[in-house]
């Protein structure tokens, strides 16, 4: 980074990353752990490789967690005690923000003033903490929402609960106070401006990346042997948290429709559901298994727990198609990871998924959540080897356009811009006061 403005260092040397409700140390795919965990972990490690120290503050959920844990060289995770040593539902967490904020401020108080150069908060709960820390420490606040309540509430799955007014108000406050807002796509950037009144010049669209060293093409026969699947199977896969928002039930209904149309597929069809209950899905953790039984496809559906990266790659390599039927996705990291493995994706045409999955190039987008439409799209890929091969050939080159290095390059520029703008604002206020 270059120096500017009376010797002020344009880029930060130490960043406080706030992630109240979920830790980058947790396994994505269950509870509240998902794409945001991956985002924080990957960008923090990329920052550390560039000589920037990163400290991630997250809520302690067990008395066995150490106060400090090393994620990787240069990246420290601080477990802040706030509330009971147990996972809490997101609607219970606002009551613990005061305690969490106190823990964050106390950690900084043990150091010389100016220890942290910048705050990057993730999700609105963290933004509330970041807003106060920003004013106390006199450093800029960069915020990434990851999901937006107003958008989620406009695209609810049937029977799902809307996000509370408390969250909507909290997001509006954070948008108003943050120095810079990072959106995953231009669509999300427009939503921040149009729905939340964000200043257009404060919003930056930066697409997430994919771990291109971990998610790579592999042998489908070998992957299927590793999972105990027949080599001639027609494999449809879903990976993510089991909750109405992610809509794995849409895949089950589509699979049942495929079998209704082609009963002979019953011997070969395998539907892999990888993940664990989360959010409102915790209220009926067996609902998906019960649905499979009701639809008469229990024999075709296999449930796997959340898988670490190497094993998740095996799932993607084994699949003919990876389905992402969510009602809303700010981006959809699973879609990119699957394509990086050379597997076509069929995704809902919502949120950032049209960026992650270019229609007709490396996958297909479905404009509805109707079983018939999803059965059409899945059949067009999984049951047509020529079409599948064409999409698969384009999947890897598309995914390679996205990397965590490129994401971090953009974040680094935003951090420098936010730091300089914040410093200038401070100096201007000082001149006016004089």
Encode pLDDT of 100-128 as tens digits. Answer: 999 999 999 999 989 999 999 999 999 99
pLDDT at 89: 85
**27 appears as a binding residue in the annotation:** yes
**241 appears as a binding residue in the annotation:** yes
Look at residues 90, 177, 71 and name the one whose alpha carbon lies nearest to residue 134. 177
**H or E segment and range at residue 117:** none
- In the predicted structure, residue 29 carries a pLDDT above the cut 80: no
The mean pLDDT value for 419-429 works out to: 81
The mean pLDDT value for 26-39 works out to: 80
pLDDT tens per residue, range 166-223: 999 999 999 999 999 999 999 999 999 999 999 999 999 999 999 999 999 999 999 9
CA distances from 212 to 95, 209, 275, 342 (A): 39, 9, 22, 12
**147 appears as a binding residue in the annotation:** yes
pLDDT at 3: 31
**37 appears as a binding residue in the annotation:** yes
* Pair 373, 237 in one domain: yes
**28 appears as a binding residue in the annotation:** yes
* Pair 75, 203 in one domain: yes
**392 appears as a binding residue in the annotation:** no
pLDDT at 276: 85
Q: Tell whether 134 is covered by a domain.
A: yes
pLDDT at 10: 60
* Pair 82, 170 in one domain: yes
**90 appears as a binding residue in the annotation:** yes
Q: Tell whether 413 is covered by a domain.
A: yes
* Pair 132, 231 in one domain: no
* Pair 253, 343 in one domain: yes
**277 appears as a binding residue in the annotation:** no
Angle in degrees, CA 114, 115, 119, rounded to 5: 90
pLDDT more than 70, % of the chain: 94
pLDDT at 281: 46
Q: Tell whether 9 is covered by a domain.
A: no
What is the domain range of residue 244? 220-400
* Pair 200, 311 in one domain: no
* Pair 233, 149 in one domain: no
**220 appears as a binding residue in the annotation:** no
**343 appears as a binding residue in the annotation:** yes
**21 appears as a binding residue in the annotation:** yes
CB environment 163-191: b (16+ within 10 A), e (fewer):
beeebbebbbebbebbbbbbbbbebbbeb
Average pLDDT score, the chain: 92
Q: Tell whether 215 is covered by a domain.
A: no
pLDDT at 6: 35
**32 appears as a binding residue in the annotation:** yes
Angle in degrees, CA 184, 188, 194, rounded to 5: 155
Distance, CA of 55 to chain centre: 19
Q: Tell whether 388 is covered by a domain.
A: yes
The mean pLDDT value for 265-293 works out to: 83
* Pair 181, 321 in one domain: no
* Pair 27, 103 in one domain: yes
At 4, the pLDDT band (50, 70, 90 cuts) reads: very low
Look at residues 344, 261, 285, 306 and name the one whose alpha carbon lies nearest to residue 253. 261
DSSP state of 319: -
Q: Tell whether 6 is covered by a domain.
A: no
DSSP state of 246: G
pLDDT at 407: 97
pLDDT more than 90, % of the chain: 82
| Contact in structure between 43 and 24 (CB atoms under 8 Å) | no
* Pair 175, 280 in one domain: no
pLDDT tens per residue, range 337-349: 999 999 999 999 9
* Pair 277, 165 in one domain: no
């Amino acid at each position: 980074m270059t120096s500017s403005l009376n010797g002020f260092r344009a880029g930060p040397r130490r960043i406080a990353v706030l992630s109240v409700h979920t830790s980058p140390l947790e396994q994505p795919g269950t509870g509240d752990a998902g794409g945001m965990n991956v985002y924080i972990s990957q960008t923090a490690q990329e920052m550390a490789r560039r000589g920037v120290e990163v400290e991630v503050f997250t809520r302690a959920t067990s008395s066995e967690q150490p106060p400090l844990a090393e994620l990787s060289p240069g990246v420290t995770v601080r477990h802040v005690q706030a509330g009971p040593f147990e996972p809490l539902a997101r609607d219970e967490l606002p009551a613990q923000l005061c305690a969490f904020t106190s823990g964050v401020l106390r950690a900084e108080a043990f150091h010389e003033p100016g220890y942290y150069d910048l705050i990057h908060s993730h999700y609105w709960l963290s933004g509330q903490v970041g807003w106060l820390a920003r004013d106390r420490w006199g450093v800029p606040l960069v915020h990434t929402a990851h999901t937006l309540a107003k958008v989620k509430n406009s695209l609810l799955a049937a029977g799902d609960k809307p996000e509370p007014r408390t969250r909507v108000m909290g997001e509006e406050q954070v948008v108003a106070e943050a120095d810079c807002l990072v959106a995953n796509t231009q669509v999300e950037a427009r939503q921040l401006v149009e729905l939340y009144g964000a200043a257009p010049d404060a919003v930056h669209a930066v697409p997430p990346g994919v771990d291109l060293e971990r998610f790579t093409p592999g042998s489908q026969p070998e992957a299927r042997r590793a999972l105990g699947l027949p080599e001639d199977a027609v494999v449809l896969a879903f990976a993510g948290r089991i909750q109405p928002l992610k809509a794995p039930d849409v895949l089950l209904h589509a699979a049942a429709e495929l079998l209704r149309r082609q009963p002979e597929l019953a011997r070969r069809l395998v539907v892999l559901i990888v993940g664990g209950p989360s959010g409102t899905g915790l209220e009926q953790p067996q609902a998906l298994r019960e649905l499979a039984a009701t639809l008469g496809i229990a024999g075709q559906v296999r449930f796997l727990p959340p898988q670490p990266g190497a094993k998740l790659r095996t799932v993607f390599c084994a699949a003919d198609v990876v389905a992402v039927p969510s009602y809303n996705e700010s981006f959809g990291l699973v879609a990119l990871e699957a394509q990086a493995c050379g597997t076509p994706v069929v995704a809902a045409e919502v949120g950032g998924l049209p960026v992650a999955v270019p229609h007709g190039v490396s996958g297909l987008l479905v404009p509805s959540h109707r079983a018939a439409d999803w059965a059409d799209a899945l059949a067009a890929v999984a049951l047509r080897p020529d079409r599948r091969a064409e999409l698969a050939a384009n999947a890897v080159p598309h995914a390679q356009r996205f990397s965590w290095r490129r994401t971090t390059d953009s974040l680094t520029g935003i951090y420098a811009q936010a730091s300089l703008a914040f410093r200038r604002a401070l100096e201007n206020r000082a001149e006016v006061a004089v």
